[in-house]
Chains A and B, each alone.
Chain A
């Protein structure tokens, strides 16, 4: 009896560490954080391996849990991501994802859509920074697009009124608008950015974009340290291609974000060098490269891991690990700027493994 009482007291005192050893070892042992790694398809596994190697060289306090998210049919016939992948993400809260291919099977959902719905990934964040050594017609680009990713023009609500006349519903809600605006201002503050610009067409779409804009203005009141401006979408595009340096953080509804984020990726050199992060409810965040699986070069040690690496750097900053983030980013940018070891798409002839090794070497040099 006494033994039982003592045991229950002990369990209460030690609490979480005893009942959930996985959580304890992830969170408390030497401050090492667990990240769910989703290598993806095509070149996914090799660029993921490259990132893990570079993180090891940088001694980043990350432990990886590899998972596959290819959709399976759950009970009731609904498509879902495998339970072990969901469990890992719900526990670690942070994911790093390579490119996914959507199987052609009939009725198979888009993998990205499935992930978005599973984790309520409401904000798509793309920092676009010009890479010295990778020349594009635009230099000194340094902006961030923050796209509302759950509603807007992509609500998927369409119907035919009569033959030849179709209506599509753009859904804008107060909650989603406020949520994305709050994220944008928080991001600006945490990353020491000076301004947030709401991109809209409220002159034409008075109620929908008007609501979005109103919420942005309300949230701006709580962030007087950040400059808030508003600009029509077409004016943003006109100005963006003439002088992208005038922009800082841009926040906008779904469709505009889809277009603008790709436009900005084009300014800095394409999807091969653009990082991306998806922020979800409940503290979940998935960082990913947004290029394709490149099946033509998969397994040939030719892939460029830069996009996934910079997404992983975004992830480190999100986790507050700024020193490691800076170190890895510097090593990566220095390698590209020096132009001696570059993958084919960057204009060189190095293998993926050689490019990776060069970054690892520089990371270790930065330590000394």
Chain B
């Protein structure tokens, strides 16, 4: 069976794009662009969904290398205090699983993570709660096992 993939391509300049982006980002799907515009747009879009604390990222290299990463800082003021939010790194790891073709595991972990955030009962401080990193992590683990 041959799968038919339909795609539409548009060309837009970065100023028109950001203009539309802040008024209605739902009109966009995949955006490809040169270096500087990507620097700008990727941060803009991270801002739209809530910032670098929840944004995943992947870097694809030649020779099949790929490195997935959280793009927030090292947060030295809360390091070692069990207060950090692991969502960005977790979602990057989910991206990594999909890249490796492990979609079932990716879906399970992502669902557990999103359900935890949506339920608002166990949230780290930056997400508006008061839970420790370990408590947030344990909650996601619990849900992952329930989904398993």
Contacts and interface: CB of A to CB of B under 8 A. Distances in A.
B34 to A, nearest CB: 10
Contact of A237 (B15, B19, B20, B43): B43
B22 A238 contact: no
B51 interface: yes
Interface in B33-62: 36, 39-44, 46-48, 50-52
A136 B23 contact: yes
A237 B23 contact: no
Interface string A227-243: 00000011101111110
A266 interface: yes
A55 to B, nearest CB: 29
B97 interface: no
Contact of A270 (B23, B40, B44): B23
A235 B40 CA distance: 8
B39 to A, nearest CB: 5
A138 B23 CA distance: 9
B44 to A, nearest CB: 4
A262 interface: yes
Q: What does DSSP make chain B's interface, helix, strand, loop or mixed? A: helix
B21 interface: yes
Given A265-B19, A266-B20, A266-B22, A241 B39 contact: no
A237 B16 contact: no
Nearest to B14: A259
A263 interface: yes
Interface in A210-252: 233-235, 237-242
Contacts of B15: 258-259, 261-263
B43 A267 contact: no
Contact of B47 (A237, A255, A261, A269): A237
Contacts of B20: 266
Nearest to A270: B23
A263 B51 CA distance: 17
A262 B43 CA distance: 16
Interface string B5-21: 00000000011101111
A306 B92 CA distance: 45
Nearest to A263: B18
Given A233-B39, A259-B18, A238 B46 contact: yes
A256 B14 CA distance: 10
> Which of A138, A201, A234 has the largest number of chain B CB atoms within 10 A?
A234
A21 B42 CA distance: 58
B95 to A, nearest CB: 20
A242 B18 contact: no
A259 B23 contact: no
B18 A238 contact: no
Contacts of A258: 14-15
B19 A238 contact: no
A359 B50 CA distance: 39
B23 A238 contact: no
Contacts of A137: 22-23
B21 A259 contact: no
A238 B49 CA distance: 10
Nearest to B25: A241
Contacts of A266: 18-23
A267 to B, nearest CB: 5
Nearest to A256: B40
B19 A262 contact: yes
Contacts of A255: 36
Interface string A133-153: 000111000000000000000
Given A237-B44, A265-B19, A271-B19, 5 more contacts: A201-B39, A259-B18, A259-B40, A263-B18, A266-B19
28 contacts: A138-B22, A201-B39, A234-B42, A234-B43, A235-B43, A238-B43, A238-B44, A238-B47, A238-B52, A239-B47, A240-B44, A241-B22, A241-B47, A242-B50, A259-B14, A259-B15, A259-B18, A260-B18, A261-B15, A262-B15, A262-B18, A262-B19, A263-B18, A266-B19, A266-B22, A267-B22, A269-B23, A270-B19
